[in-house]
Amino acid sequence: MVFARIDIQPTHTYGDFKLRRGRPFPFGATLVPGGVNFSIFSSHAKSCTLVLFKKHAKEPMAEIPFPDEFRIGNVFCTIVFDLDYENIEYGYRMEGPFNPKEGHWFDSSKILMDPYAKVIGGRDVWGVTPDWNDIYHHRARIVLDDFDWENDRPLEIPPEDMVVYEMHVRSFTRHPSSQVKHPGTFAAIRDKIPYLKELGVNAIELMPVYEFDEFENSRPNPQNPDELLVNYWGYSTVGFFAPKAGYAATGKIGMQVDELKTLVKELHKNGLEVILDVVFNHTAEGNEYGPTISFRGVDNKTYYMLTPEGYYFNFSGCGNTLNCNNPIVRNIVLDCLRYWASEYHIDGFRFDLASILGRDPSGAPLANPPLLETLAFDPILAKCKLIAEAWDAGGLYQVGSFPAFGRWAEWNGKYRDSIRKFIKGDGTVGDIAQRLQGSPDLYAWEGRGPATSINFITAHDGFTLLDLVSYNGKHNEANGENNNDGSNDNDSWNCGWEGPTDDAGINALRRRQIKNAVAILMVSTGVPMILMGDEVGRTQYGNNNTYCHDNELNWLDWTLLEQNADLFRFFKNCIAFRNAHPVLRSKYHFSNSDYMGSGYADITWHGTKAWNADWSASCRTIAMMLCGKHAKAGTVEDNYVYVAMNMHWEGLWFEIPGLRDGMKWHVFANTGATAPNDIWSPGQEPVLENQHGMLVGDRSVVILVGK
């Protein structure tokens, strides 16, 4: 016989509320039989009060102090019974010292958001002006975990087989031309899955989707007083566990969790992984002058890196720095990632300014940062991709030396810089050879494979690909900072005129340069990543830092798909070619030897003369051949691939290495030819007329396939 449980009976009362001693774990608000378990820690608070609101209500409906006996260590925990958990919002007041010099900012007049809030109300619909007099702006709510995942789970695509598409949730479909029902939302991305599949990418990387406040630091646009400059990109986290409500068409009814999960599930069904760009380097609370939303009021000294005088260290360039190697903060980062991996089936994470995660509480870089090690060995994150942006705004640059623990991949900033220089004609062939083969100079010495290298030429920071070939310098006046923001090191070349032009010659050269870039990217060993819209020639009019614009500087104009159909076709075929040829997707670095007995080494280098690469500093040409018998370390058979890159200003005759066994070279791509003769569908390539050599046009790339 089973008795009714007695461990879920109230033991205390406060006013009309029935309480029981809570469980310290898990932190946050958790549904338990009969009620909700609230648990929050603070190393320095003296006491804590739970504040309950009816959803959207201006004033609290109740304030329940945690009885002294409900505190365990530094954790306040209580169960409140019979709460209408779907219709409440909750926060906390913390009592403790206010002494910024000592690092303490307690102020019990402020209602604080739970750092573990799983749903956050208050900015339910994007861009709706908040009530600035609200006593509680970002309102923690309680989440239900009843989503029906059916048979879904993360896809676990081998990293070396990925092609990543970096996108901003709102920008992708906000433009009126997107023709979706709910522009700028998670639901709208779902409507565009067929487009992503046609392009051929198999992973999307979403710029921050954690709850942020688009109104943070908002100000009138100096060029258009009717418009606000806002925190558009969202690299400023309000809550690490909650999806951005304003990105959900259902945010106004509080269903953003379900909408995002539905998107993930649907992407998985279509063979696409989801990588989140996560920002653990700082929060939306800014410096001494910023708002107190949560961490500052809950436990400032624990959460932030502080100078000995109590000021905020600013390694992020955004006012404060999360104290990532404090053991408590390490745990919240771990809890957060585990939550997204298990509850949202997220396939991987890209860590913004990840080098900060390797600094100690005083800011000094650590040799073996515990946080990075913990994430690398965590059992729940074991199959997740972990990708570091291996630098920070405090001057730490760790491309090639990020503490990897055998797990971490890196945004390869050196790949970006080398390819940009090469394409604009700066030579650097020795460097290029390293980048094309997965940057063994950076990674092989430590036993890190080529998929460590996330290869990209453009990303959200910096020029779009079209702008990279249309502007010599940045044009950030619209950001309202006198063009002082954004990077000055763009390695860009405008091809003869700054900005848009009617000059047919310049426009043709720009098109060719775009094709050169993607052709090189898609034959490079490593993991290619493309920036949303580059495949259709998106421009930001020379702005290389559009973080604050909710307008056409960021929105993808879908009419470009028609205008620049040849670019889309070129991208699509390049990606299809990569997907069709395992020889391009090696898990291991090349050995420069013929271990398969094919008569060819796995990779060989050539110049205008076959077998004779010119490695001199002034050289602007290089050719590479990959032996199909060595594909995937010789475990699968593939065709041979030969790539000739001529970044000289004149066309040059390239002698081509001969093939054996009656195989012939076929032309897959030639950026020197005009569409539709610039590229073929994989498998449809015509035979090359002269099997011994060919003219490669000025600033052009030719890709041959030997079969």
Partner 1 sequence: MAFNATLETNNDTATITLSGELDASTAPQFKAEVEKAATQGAKRLVLMMQDLEYMASAGLRVLIFTKQKMGASADIYVVGAQEMVLDTINKTGFNQGVIIQDEYSPL
Q: Where in the sequence numbering do the catalytic residues fall?
A: 352, 389
The distance of closest approach from Cβ of residue 118 to partner 1 in the complex, given in angstroms and rounded to an integer, is 14
The distance of closest approach from Cβ of residue 179 to partner 1 in the complex, given in angstroms and rounded to an integer, is 16
Q: Helix %, strand %, coil % for the chain, to 5?
A: 25, 25, 50
> Residue 177: what are its φ and ψ, rounded to 5°?
-70, -10
Q: Kindly tell me which of 248 and 337 has the beta carbon lying closer to partner 1.
A: 248
Q: Match 């994470």 to its residue by tokens.
A: 349
CA distances from 403 to 304, 329, 367 (A): 22, 19, 7
The distance of closest approach from Cβ of residue 265 to partner 1 in the complex, given in angstroms and rounded to an integer, is 6
d(CA 521, CA 442): 18
The distance of closest approach from Cβ of residue 80 to partner 1 in the complex, given in angstroms and rounded to an integer, is 17
Q: Kindly tell me which of 262 and 321 has the beta carbon lying closer to partner 1.
A: 262
Q: Kindly tell me which of 91 and 251 has the beta carbon lying closer to partner 1.
A: 251
The sign of the torsion formed by the CA atoms of 293, 295, 297, 298 equals positive
Q: Kindly tell me which of 155 and 248 has the beta carbon lying closer to partner 1.
A: 248
The distance of closest approach from Cβ of residue 142 to partner 1 in the complex, given in angstroms and rounded to an integer, is 12
Contact 488, 461 (CB under 8 A): no
Q: Kindly tell me which of 119 and 624 has the beta carbon lying closer to partner 1.
A: 119
DSSP secondary structure letter of residue 178: G
DSSP secondary structure letter of residue 320: -
Q: Match 């378990």 to its residue by tokens.
A: 37
- Neighbouring residues of 450: CB distance < 8 A, sequence distance ≥ 6: 160, 437, 438, 439, 440, 443, 525, 526, 586, 587, 588, 589
Reference 338, options 240, 197, 267; nearest CA is 240
Contact 679, 687 (CB under 8 A): no
Joined together, the tokens standing for residue 525 give 């060993």
Reference 252, options 127, 140, 145, 123; nearest CA is 123
The distance of closest approach from Cβ of residue 147 to partner 1 in the complex, given in angstroms and rounded to an integer, is 7
d(CA 651, CA 4): 85
Contact 478, 506 (CB under 8 A): no
CA 207 to chain CA mean position, Å: 5
The distance of closest approach from Cβ of residue 57 to partner 1 in the complex, given in angstroms and rounded to an integer, is 15
Angle at 706 between CA 704 and CA 707, to 5 degrees: 140
Q: Kindly tell me which of 128 and 253 has the beta carbon lying closer to partner 1.
A: 253
Q: Kindly tell me which of 193 and 509 has the beta carbon lying closer to partner 1.
A: 193
Q: Match 């992020």 to its residue by tokens.
A: 316
Q: Kindly tell me which of 86 and 446 has the beta carbon lying closer to partner 1.
A: 86
Contact 478, 495 (CB under 8 A): no
> Peptide bond before 154: cis, by omega within 30 degrees of 0?
no
> Residue 32: what are its φ and ψ, rounded to 5°?
-130, 165
d(CA 426, CA 417): 11
Contact 567, 514 (CB under 8 A): yes
The distance of closest approach from Cβ of residue 274 to partner 1 in the complex, given in angstroms and rounded to an integer, is 15
The distance of closest approach from Cβ of residue 258 to partner 1 in the complex, given in angstroms and rounded to an integer, is 4
Reference 407, options 442, 378, 431; nearest CA is 378
d(CA 677, CA 699): 17
Q: Kindly tell me which of 181 and 660 has the beta carbon lying closer to partner 1.
A: 181
Q: Which residues pair with 205 in a beta bridge?
A: 166, 275
- State the DSSP H helix or E strand holding residue 435, giving kind and residue range, or none if neither: helix 429-436
Binding site for partner 1 (CB under 8 A): 84, 86-87, 144, 146-148, 150, 181-182, 187, 248-250, 253-255, 258-259, 261-262, 265-266
The distance of closest approach from Cβ of residue 150 to partner 1 in the complex, given in angstroms and rounded to an integer, is 7
d(CA 385, CA 274): 10
Q: Kindly tell me which of 248 and 388 has the beta carbon lying closer to partner 1.
A: 248
Q: Kindly tell me which of 16 and 148 has the beta carbon lying closer to partner 1.
A: 148
Number of residues written out for the chain = 707
The distance of closest approach from Cβ of residue 84 to partner 1 in the complex, given in angstroms and rounded to an integer, is 7
- State the DSSP H helix or E strand holding residue 53, giving kind and residue range, or none if neither: strand 47-54
CA 84 to chain CA mean position, Å: 37
Contact 669, 629 (CB under 8 A): no
- Neighbouring residues of 263: CB distance < 8 A, sequence distance ≥ 6: 186, 187, 189, 190, 274
